């Protein structure tokens, strides 16, 4: 089976852009990706495009992958929209990697794009909510904030996790996002401000919840044997794993564990031949602050129940022993659903090549990175291991 490498990565600015559509956003990311390929690339060599997308604001629900592919100048490629809720981008990467590994194509794109701000806040909540169990959760009146609030309550009850520990995740990620010129929220917040913001779904408040965002990202993946034709510093996809789980949290064995994350991570670590201790930088799915604490635990960075202690000790900060979400994460960088997973890959690609735009955000000496992309409240999960 062929080995695969990432030789280019690009991302649009994340935020609210009423003047741009999904085509313009994806073109921005695509051009940024091409510019990052050191030795250049002839677009005619690209044989496939896997595009993560949930709904594009309801504007282009059908054939959207063909729409954005032809708009950037790739009208005749094998193209596929990948939809797995918020994990769509992560699954696009896995589909693209498997394509190259199979020998179907030598050069492919994994990308994602979303236009989240074209619809009302009420419609956004409905749109996101149907990524859970519609019959038993959505129709009962729950939201994702409500579901993660239930998870947070249980985590606090079982392990003594504190309100301050939850807010510390937001403070860390906003500090990182303040250094990221492509983040939606480029400003720091204080712990006091984070803890005193209005509740959304108790115990989660405004600063515990990520935003919904416009944005796009793309990575260029190729057969590792030809990577030197594009760059002398490729980033290899060493391993990946995916898993589904019960969509409704009441059906799961444990409310405070994302079993999909554990299984996807186990497969990725095994394929890559690494362990959690080998990870130097990680981008995890912090749609809510409690989700980042769960990721620490379920990815094996610490024991179950110790996520609060992990953040409190500063271990996940840039400069800590396990930097997490140096980009600012979903919380500060933004969460354009279909683009989130490939945006995580964009960040780790630059971290491992030491091409992060602001040196103060660079994780020094990082050689192995991880991306973790979650759909819904854990119904689908993708984990990929990247190595320099």
Task: Give the pLDDT band of residue 129 (cuts 50, 70, 90).
Answer: low
- CB-based burial label for 80 (10 Å; 0-12, 13-18, 19+): middle
- Could you count the other beta carbons within 10 Å of the beta carbon of residue 139? 10
pTM of the model: 0.97
Q: Tell me if 157 is assigned to some domain.
A: no
Active-site position among 86, 222, 287, 302: 86
Residues of the chain with pLDDT > 90, as a percent, come to 88
CA proximity to 228, closest of 8, 1, 39: 39
Averaged pLDDT for residues 354-375? 95
Nearest to 202 by CA among 290, 306, 264, 311: 290
Residue 87 lies in a domain: yes
Residue 365, pLDDT above cutoff 70: yes
Residue 193 lies in a domain: no
Nearest to 219 by CA among 5, 3, 2: 5
Query: What does the pLDDT look like over 204-233, one tens digit per residue?
Result: 999 999 998 999 999 999 999 999 999 999
Tell me the residue range of the domain where 222 lies.
4-120+211-387
Average pLDDT over residues 141-161: 94
Best CA proximity match to 275, nearest among 263, 285, 265: 265
Q: What is the DSSP letter of 124?
A: H
pLDDT score recorded for residue 85: 93
**Each residue's pLDDT tens digit, 229-258:** 999 999 999 999 999 999 999 999 999 999
Residue 154 belongs to some domain of the structure: no
* 250 in catalytic set: no
Distance CA 270, CA 89 (A): 22
Q: Where residue 25 sits, what CATH number does that domain have? A: 3.40.47.10
Residue 76 contacts by C-beta under 8 Å, 6 or more apart in sequence?
A: none
Domain assignment present for 178: no
Question: pLDDT tier at 194 (50, 70, 90 boundaries)?
Answer: very high
User: Does 322 fall in a domain?
Assistant: yes
Provide the pLDDT for residue 128. Answer: 65
- Is 86 an active-site residue? yes
Beta partners for 201? Answer: 204
Order of strands across the sheet with 78-82? Answer: 78-82, 48-52, 107-114, 215-223, 4-11, 235-244, 380-387, 368-375, 281-283
Q: Which residues of 95-130 are buried (b: 16+ CB within 10 A; e: fewer)?
A: bbbebbbeeebbbbbbbbbbbbbbbeeeebeebbbe
The residues, any chain, with a CB within 8 Å of residue 232's CB and separated by 6 or more, are 38
How many helices (H) and strands (E) are present in the chain, helices listed first?
Answer: 12, 11
- Closest Cα partner for 379 from 43, 91, 15? 91
The total number of structural domains that make up the chain: 1
- Listed in sequence order, the residues at least 6 apart from 295 whose beta carbon sits closer than 8 Å to its beta carbon are 258, 261, 282, 284, 285, 286, 301, 307, 324, 372
Instruction: Tell me the C-alpha to C-alpha distance, in Å, between residue 55 and each of 13, 63, 149, 383.
Output: 19, 11, 25, 23
Q: Is 160 among the domain residues?
A: no
CA 226 to chain centre: 27
Out of 107-121, 175-189, 310-324, pick the least confident: 107-121
pLDDT, position 357: 87
The per-residue pLDDT of the chain, averaged, comes to: 95
* Active-site annotation holder among 153, 236, 335, 372: 335
Rounded to an integer, what distance in angstroms lies between the CA atom of residue 286 and that of residue 84? Answer: 17
- Residue 189 domain-assigned? no
User: pLDDT digits over 52-106, tens only?
Assistant: 998 875 566 779 999 999 999 999 999 999 999 999 999 999 999 999 999 999 9
Residues 6+ apart with CB under 8 A from 40: 34, 230
């Amino acid at each position: 089976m062929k080995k695969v490498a990432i030789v280019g990565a690009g991302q649009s600015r994340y935020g609210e852009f009423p003047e741009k559509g999904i085509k313009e956003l994806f073109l921005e990311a695509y051009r940024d990706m091409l510019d990052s390929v050191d030795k250049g690339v002839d677009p005619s060599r690209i044989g496939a495009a896997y595009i993560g997308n949930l709904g594009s604001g309801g504007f282009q629900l059908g054939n959207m992958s063909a729409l954005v592919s032809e708009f950037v100048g790739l009208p005749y490629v094998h193209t596929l929209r990948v939809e797995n809720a918020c994990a769509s981008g992560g699954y696009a990467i896995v589909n693209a990697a498997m394509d190259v590994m199979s020998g179907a194509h030598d050069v492919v794109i994994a990308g994602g794009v979303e236009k989240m701000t074209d619809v009302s806040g009420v419609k956004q909540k409905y749109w996101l909510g149907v990524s859970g169990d519609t019959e038993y959760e959505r129709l009962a009146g729950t939201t994702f904030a409500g579901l993660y609030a239930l998870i947070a309550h249980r985590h606090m009850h079982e392990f003594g996790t504190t309100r301050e520990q939850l807010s510390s995740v937001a403070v860390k990620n906003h500090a990182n996002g303040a250094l990221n010129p492509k983040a939606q929220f480029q400003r720091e917040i204080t712990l006091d401000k984070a803890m005193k913001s209005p509740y959304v779904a108790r115990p989660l408040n405004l600063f515990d919840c990520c935003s919904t965002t416009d944005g796009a990202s793309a990575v260029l993946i190729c057969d590792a044997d030809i990577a030197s034709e594009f760059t002398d510093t490729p980033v290899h996809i060493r391993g990946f794993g995916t898993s589904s789980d019960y969509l409704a949290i009441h059906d799961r064995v444990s409310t405070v564990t994302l079993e999909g994350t554990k299984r996807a991570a186990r497969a990725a670590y095994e394929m890559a031949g690494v362990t959690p201790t080998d990870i130097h930088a990680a981008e995890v799915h912090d749609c809510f602050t409690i989700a980042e604490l769960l990721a620490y635990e379920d990815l094996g960075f610490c024991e179950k129940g110790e996520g609060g202690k992990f953040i409190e000790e500063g271990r996940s900060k840039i400069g800590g022993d396990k930097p997490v979400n140096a980009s600012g994460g979903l919380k500060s960088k933004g969460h354009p659903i279909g683009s989130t997973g490939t945006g995580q890959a964009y960040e780790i690609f630059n971290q491992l090549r030491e091409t992060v735009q602001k040196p103060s955000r660079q994780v020094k000496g990082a050689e192995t990175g991880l991306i973790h992309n979650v759909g819904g409240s854990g119904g689908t999960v993708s984990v990929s291991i990247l190595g320099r």
